[in-house]
A and B are shown apart, each in its own frame.
Chain A
Amino acid sequence: MSEIRAGSFTIEELENVQITIGSIVGAIEKKAEDEGEMGPTPKPGIVDIREWDHKLLNRYEPVYTPMCDQCCYCTFGTCDLTGNKEGACGINMAAHQAREFLLRVITGAAAHAGHGRHLLHHLIKTHGADHPIDVGPTNIKAPVIQTVTGIKPETLGDLEPVLDYVEEQLTQLLATIHAGQEGAAIDFESKALHGGMIDHVGMEVSDIAQISCLGMPKADPEAPLAEIGMGTIDSKKPVLLCIGHNVAGVTYIMDYMDEHDLTDKIELAGLCCTAIDMTRYNMDAGGTPTAKIVGSLAKELKYIRSGIPDVIVVDEQCVRADVLQEAQALSIPVICTNEKIMYGLPNRSNDNVDDIINDLLSGREAGALVLDFDKIGELAPRLVMEIAPIRKAKGITALPTDEKFKELTNKCVHCLACEMACPMNLPISDAMTAAADGDLTPFEILHDKCIACGRCEQECPKDIDIVNVIEKASQKVIREEKGMMRAGRGQVSDPEIREEGVNLVLGTTPGIVAMVGCSNYPDGTKDLYDIAKEMLKRSYIVVVSGCTAMDLGMYKNEEGKTLYEEFSGSFLKGNLINVGSCVSNSHITATTIKVAAIFAQRNVTGNFEEIADYVTNRVGAVGIAWGAYSQKAASIGTGCTRLGIPVILGPHGSKYRRALIGKPYDSHKWSVFDARNGEEMAIPPAPDFLISTVDNAEEIMPILAKSCMRPTDNNMGRMIKLTHYIELSEKYLGVMPDDWHKFIRTETDLPLARRKDLLKILETEHGWEIDWKKKKILSGPTMKFDVSAQPTNFKRLCKEA
């Protein structure tokens, strides 16, 4: 059949012809093409942005830290690759590590894209394919989608071809994991970057679909505050606990509760991103979220073991594999609502709700798989109302009595097996001794650091339920765990970018610090609060999402205010923005894209490389995944890095197996072209990594400031950034950074208050020539300052090209 092109057309006089329209493909891309604004790489395949990747990887080289020296992917193996040896298929350790990293990235991307596909199917069914995308005051409704695919979605239906593209790319990438495919580490790396970029597309689909349909705040700086913390849950009421990331099914529960006057009668609590999205649901017109947030994954086992939840509803992602067993032991029925997690339970989707309730109440079944949202909506609230009085009368909990607690702490033989098994090597044995002597403080300290993984319990020769002991000892602090989190606001709006874009590009707003990731913190949750507070006080814009957004809301200042109450939520210097749940992370990359589009008038449509080049050189943004534990955090971070946003991980992040780190001492690597004439121009060695790790929260502070420096900073901007870099290094490390001089182009870059002293150091320690009368630098800097220079990594973007 001849090709029918996009647009409108008339067919006359047809007889006996059946026309089936599957989907209209390419219409929006065609429109962009016709308007002459389609960039060179709409819907890029694996090879299309490879040139950019290789440029990045040339400056920021992969550093591999294997988690395992062997490969067991195929039956030629197990192959020992120690010392970068080759396996039977010819792959060496470096390439295998890059392959392992790629696998993590596409696993994370698939989790988001799978979530997005599930949501989109559901929302198209309930709202129709023509339902408009509405994300707030913006002309670029889907910045990531538009930049990567060239598609400008207007309706839910427009998101389908976007997800088709995501799924195709993920399949192609997964195929390259197979034995006997790619052999070069660098191209596995390029593929990983591709997967990370694709992840942000999938996330954006998910979040803009749910924002548009589920009444979530639309770029609202004043999104309402929600309660968070184990201490906020009223355990006297029936407690319904929802765990996971996909809020679709839970909205039916909330609607049912609303319609049946149960909202005040049931305590609806959530863990992980489902909790965040529960507080966003129907909040676009203001109000107070009724759902409460328990916390992140680290609270899952702790909260179940407390026995407080009366019914548990799980959907997908970051749900413990043993929820059913743990819950069953405490007579808590579990309802699975998503095919990703079914726990071997019978599928009751077609059964009568009364029958399911009877089976769960009587304990005949420990749980049920129910995929029909209408039924879930009715089942969960009714069940919790019926079972709660029974459970509460029995006082069911896994936590020991006072007597049993004494017995357990005395039983410890201090063999240290638990400490060795603990991912953090927490000092459990000493805490046991102290508790046996009546001092609970060491356990109270452990409570926040412990991620409740339960590994210690598996090793204890005395069968002590260590998590229960920690939680029992910490009841007093748990009751005080009460905080606030601003509900996720979604995107940053166009007017906000218009106001703030110039400050970001010139550097007078010192930078954007985006904090993402969850649970696997090196030293508990307080670090997040401390990092955010330090940077907010210094006028950085702090953007948060997911579990980080929750955990930093747990702490308060002297006036009893959380950071959300202390700092405003606009996209302005010194503001704290919660974009939302895991899938809202796409709004972080989207924000930098919008700066390019709105402030610099760059064409973003199907133009990823040019936009990434812009962001790399001009937008002072840095990501932190402090507790990066999941594959999703790997893909989110990798998506940021392909766009030129550096990401720092907490120390556990070294287990992702690879970092991308530059060599500041190799001057060849630190130059770009000036787009005005194609001449080479030196740039500062910052950021000096694209993805790396630090040891603790104090070490990260100066690195954050340094990572926000960009070649386009004006003098004022560079001076501000440098002031923070030096001050933070002195405050947290006790020393001046040894590379501060590398960022000086002229004397006006120097922090004003210390200009004279710093000039002296430049003269005596670095041999720079100073005109002391005029307080001017005569020679020394490797970089020139030129306010109208146009840094780019691409020769083809230069004028003479």
Chain B
Amino acid sequence: MVDTTRNIKMYTTYGTKSAKPVQPKIAAKMISKAKRPLFVVSSIVLDEDLLKRAIPIANKTGMQIAATGTSIKGFLNEDVKAKYINIHALAAYLGDTGWNGLDGEGHYDLIIVLAHKKYYINQVLSGLKNFTDLTTLSIDRHYLQNASMSFGNLKPETHLEALDELIDNL
């Protein structure tokens, strides 16, 4: 079992509210229990090791992938529901209760993020934290303060192990 909650060191802080560190098993449970989860991935997922894990996470749960950046290229021939969207636009739409989601079936209740530039996704999460009621879960390699819950800072190999454990618990 990997401990993903140990290192939550921050280089700079945004304020008083910080993500709760989360273990892979709990993260898996949250995803499984969500009614309308949205899996927001970005270009770093094109790294083979990450892609190999992102696909089963989406596939096992059937959840929608918001393929931001250029990540859509990784999902083209896979058995997943993926759609390209720019992440800043997504942040805007997620703040709009009138938005019907990427599939037109309604809003989301859990946002899961993976394979992003740390500084970029932290801004997006800052917007969601301050202006929406959405629960956000980071299963990325860096501790993302602005998520509701997040893995801590992990070495790349530990991160992959953590994702494997998460997949096993889905």
Contact = CB atoms under 8 A, between A and B. Distances in A.
Given A425-B142, A654-B120, A692-B86, A66 B91 contact: no
Contact of A63 (B15, B17, B95, B100): B95
Contacts of A271: none
B42 A695 contact: yes
B69 A695 contact: yes
A695 B120 contact: yes
Interface stretch (A317-325, A502-510, A730-738): A730-738
A65 B17 contact: no
Interface in A88-107: 93-94
Interface residues of B, number: 42
Interface stretch (A23-31, A617-625, A660-668): A660-668
A659 B124 CA distance: 11
B86 A66 contact: no
Nearest to A83: B130
B91 A655 contact: no
B88 A693 contact: yes
B70 A69 contact: no
Interface in A424-460: 424-425, 459
B11 A696 contact: no
B89 interface: yes
A80 B126 CA distance: 14
B86 A63 contact: no
Interface in B60-92: 68-70, 72-73, 76, 83-84, 86-89, 91-92
A651 B17 contact: no
Given A67-B126, A82-B130, A733-B72, A738 B84 contact: yes
Given A654-B124, A735-B76, A699 B130 contact: no
A54 B130 CA distance: 24
Given A68-B14, A655-B119, A663-B93, A420 B9 contact: yes
B89 A82 contact: no
Contact of A65 (B89, B127, B142, B155): B127
Interface in B74-125: 76, 83-84, 86-89, 91-93, 95-96, 98-100, 117-120, 123-124
A702 B27 CA distance: 35
B12 to A, nearest CB: 9
A663 B92 contact: yes
Interface residues of A, number: 49
Interface in A694-728: 694-696, 698-699, 703
Contacts of B86: 692, 694, 699, 703
A427 to B, nearest CB: 9
Contacts of A693: 87-88, 120
B70 A696 contact: yes
A154 B142 CA distance: 57
B69 A699 contact: yes
A421 B149 CA distance: 22
A688 B88 CA distance: 12
A84 B130 contact: yes
Given A69-B17, A733-B72, A735-B76, A84 B84 contact: no
A80 B88 contact: no
Nearest to A695: B69
B129 interface: yes
A378 interface: no
Contact of B69 (A80, A696, A734): A696
A66 B98 contact: no
A423 interface: yes
B14 A67 contact: yes
A109 to B, nearest CB: 24
A522 interface: yes
Contacts of B98: 666
B135 interface: no
Contacts of A698: 70
A743 interface: no
A382 interface: no
A93 B128 CA distance: 13
A423 to B, nearest CB: 7
Interface in A660-702: 661, 663, 665-666, 688-689, 692-696, 698-699
B121 to A, nearest CB: 9
Contacts of B16: 69-70, 80, 82
Nearest to B102: A738
B93 to A, nearest CB: 7
Contacts of B70: 695-696, 698-699, 732-733
B120 A69 contact: no
B73 A734 contact: yes
Nearest to A655: B123
Nearest to A94: B131
B68 to A, nearest CB: 6
Contacts of A737: 84
Interface in B1-33: 9, 11, 14-17
A654 B69 CA distance: 14
A795 interface: no
A734 B92 contact: no
A452 to B, nearest CB: 17
Contacts of A359: none
B43 to A, nearest CB: 5
A67 B124 CA distance: 10
Interface in A633-657: 651-652, 654-655
A622 to B, nearest CB: 14
15 contacts: A63-B127, A65-B124, A65-B127, A67-B123, A67-B126, A80-B16, A420-B142, A425-B142, A522-B117, A659-B92, A663-B96, A688-B89, A689-B89, A735-B76, A738-B84
Interface of A: 61, 63-70, 80-84, 93-94, 416, 420-421, 423-425, 459, 522, 651-652, 654-655, 659, 661, 663, 665-666, 688-689, 692-696, 698-699, 703, 732-735, 737-738
Interface of B: 9, 11, 14-17, 42-43, 68-70, 72-73, 76, 83-84, 86-89, 91-93, 95-96, 98-100, 117-120, 123-124, 126-127, 129-131, 142, 153, 155
Given A69-B129, A81-B130, 16 more contacts: A63-B95, A66-B14, A69-B126, A80-B15, A421-B11, A424-B119, A425-B117, A654-B124, A655-B123, A659-B92, A661-B88, A661-B89, A733-B72, A733-B73, A733-B84, A735-B84
4 closest A-B pairs (Cβ-Cβ)? A69-B15, A695-B69, A654-B123, A65-B127
